[in-house]
């Protein structure tokens, strides 16, 4: 049986994670979010424990964390928050929706989130605290780096190297064997046929 979890953040992304955690039988201790008063019940029966600082009241050996902040192409708060608590000895739970397909030959790092209907094929790796969002596909032998986000409906074809902190927009397609440099961004609905440099923002031609 997995350890109980605390979710960081009480927004829309966290709500989706709550449903997945319930489907997989995880016990949710509570949610941390400074936007809500301590004791407020979210998602029917999950108490707000206070701000993120309240996590420090819990022994890191007795629970796991889930990063419930929604991925954003404009800021790195998910990464900052994850690093803060990893440094303190807390570990993050990988969350995989029951309807997702994950190859037994894929590597899913701690804290990664594989959402409903996603497909992770043979030989892939998904990095620490990355999100492969609803209905997206990561095809064979592709690597997704730490803190990256493959947005809903995006397709990563075979042999692609997605760096650290990359944002691949909704409904976009990355052609096979390309590389996306760290902190690059691919806009929604774009078909990518070239490599992206570190920090490059690509909105199509």
Nearest C-alpha neighbor of 149 from the set 125, 133, 171: 133
CATH number of the domain enclosing 200: 2.160.10.10
Is residue 5 within 8 Å of 21, Cβ to Cβ? yes
184 and 98 within one domain: yes
Beta bridge partners of 108: 126
Q: Is the pLDDT of residue 120 over 70?
A: yes
* Structure confidence at residue 42 (pLDDT): 94
Q: What CA–CA distance (Å, rounded) separates 173 from 144? A: 14
68 and 30 within one domain: yes
Q: What is the DSSP letter of 36?
A: S
179 and 80 within one domain: no
Q: Is the pLDDT of residue 1 over 70?
A: no
76 and 140 within one domain: no
72 and 118 within one domain: no
Domain boundary among 45, 69, 87: 87
* Structure confidence at residue 2 (pLDDT): 79
181 and 100 within one domain: yes
What number is the average pLDDT over the span 94-102? 98
The 10s digit of each residue's pLDDT in 126-184 is: 999 999 999 999 999 999 999 999 999 999 999 999 999 999 999 999 999 999 999 99
Q: What CA–CA distance (Å, rounded) separates 48 from 18? A: 13
Domain boundary among 48, 65, 87: 87
Residues spanned by the domain of 55: 5-87
Q: How many domains is the chain built from? A: 2
| CA-to-CA dists, residue 91 to 20, 74, 85, 110, 150, angstroms | 19, 25, 8, 8, 22
Domain boundary among 20, 54, 87: 87
* Structure confidence at residue 72 (pLDDT): 85
- The phi-psi region of residue 59 (left if phi > 0; otherwise alpha if psi is between -120 and 50; otherwise beta) is beta
115 and 44 within one domain: no
166 and 65 within one domain: no
The 10s digit of each residue's pLDDT in 40-80 is: 999 999 999 999 999 999 999 999 999 999 988 877 888 99
191 and 99 within one domain: yes
Strands 46-50 and 167-168: unpaired
Residue 13 parent element (H or E): helix 12-23
182 and 107 within one domain: yes
99 and 18 within one domain: no
């Amino acid at each position: 049986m997995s350890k109980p979890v605390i979710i960081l953040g009480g927004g829309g992304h966290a709500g989706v994670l709550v449903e997945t955690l319930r489907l997989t039988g995880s016990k949710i201790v509570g949610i941390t979010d400074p936007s809500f008063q301590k004791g407020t019940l979210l998602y029917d029966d999950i108490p707000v424990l206070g701000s993120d600082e309240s996590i420090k009241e819990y022994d890191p050996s007795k629970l796991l964390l889930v990063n419930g902040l929604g991925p954003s192409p404009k800021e790195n708060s998910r990464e900052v928050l994850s690093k803060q608590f990893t440094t303190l000895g807390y570990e993050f739970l990988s969350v995989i929706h029951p309807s997702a397909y994950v190859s037994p030959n894929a590597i899913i790092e701690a804290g990664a989130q594989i959402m409903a209907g996603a497909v992770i094929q043979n030989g892939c790796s998904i990095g620490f605290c990355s999100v492969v969002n609803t209905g997206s596909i990561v095809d064979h032998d592709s690597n997704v780096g730490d803190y990256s986000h493959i947005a809903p409906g995006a397709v990563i074809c075979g042999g692609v190297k997605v760096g650290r902190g990359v944002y691949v927009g909704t409904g976009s397609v990355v052609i096979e064997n390309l590389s996306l440099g760290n902190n690059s961004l691919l806009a929604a609905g774009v078909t990518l046929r070239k490599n992206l440099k570190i920090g490059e923002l690509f909105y199509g031609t």
